[in-house]
Amino acid sequence: MQEPANWNPALLSTMTSHTSCQRPGSETNHLVIPAVEHDAPGFPCKWQDCRSTTCFRREVDLMRHVKSVHVAPKAYCCLEPNCGKAFGRKDHLQNHKRNRHPDNH
Ligand SMILES: [Zn+2]
Ligand SMILES: [Zn+2]
């Protein structure tokens, strides 16, 4: 795996910069992106009743949020007797155990 000897990052910008002056409807519009929400700066959670206003920069981050907060919000349960607390993240459960049940290791 090696880059071509004449590779130049500036080349890439000249290749992509000209697309910004294309107008929709012109005959060179083969690069027009389908009408999805590309004006959004990231991936906000659209889950109903989600209180998070975080805009995730990558889709995987959003998916992780959806999984841990909405799909399986209480995946990690404290197994201590008479506790039954549940958490969405393993480290939160571990924190809880450390704080609430420091003697039961
Ligand atoms: Zn959410
Ligand atoms: Zn507990």
User: Where do we find the tokens 């450390």?
Assistant: 98
User: Which chain residues have CB less than 5 Å from ligand 1, an ion?
Assistant: 45, 47, 50, 52
Ligand nearest to the CA of 54: 1
Domain count, the chain: 2
Q: Are residues 68 and 40 in the same domain?
A: yes
The DSSP-derived string for the chain is ----TT--HHHHHHHHHGGGGPPTTSTT-TTPPPSS-TTSSSEE---TT-----EESSHHHHHHHIIIIIISTT-EE--STTT--EESSHHHHHHHHHHH-TT--
Residue 104 belongs to some domain of the structure: yes
pLDDT digits (tens, 9 = 90+) for 47-56: 888 888 888 9
Does residue 93 surpass a pLDDT of 70?
A: yes
Q: Do both 86 and 59 map to the same domain?
A: no
Distance 72 CA to ligand 2 centre (A): 18
Residue 50 is assigned to a structural domain of this protein: yes
Higher pLDDT pick, 5 / 93: 93
For residue 38, the CA-to-ligand 1 centroid distance in Å is 19
pLDDT at 12 over 80: no
Taking the centre of ligand 2 as the mean of its atom positions, its distance from the CA of residue 98, in whole angstroms, is: 9
Same domain, 64 and 82: no
Rounded to whole angstroms, how far apart are CA atoms 66 and 94? 21
Residue 20: inside a domain: no
Convert the pLDDT of each residue in 54-91 to its tens digit. Answer: 889 999 999 888 887 888 778 788 988 889 888 878 89
Predicted structure pTM score: 0.37
Whether 36 has a pLDDT exceeding 80, the answer reads no
What's the domain range around 50? 36-72
| CA of residue 93 to ligand 2 center, whole Å | 8
Residues 68 and 44 in one domain: yes
Residues 77, 63 contacting (CB under 8 angstroms): no
User: Is residue 59 located within the same domain as residue 44?
Assistant: yes
Give yes or no: residues 42 and 66 share one domain. yes
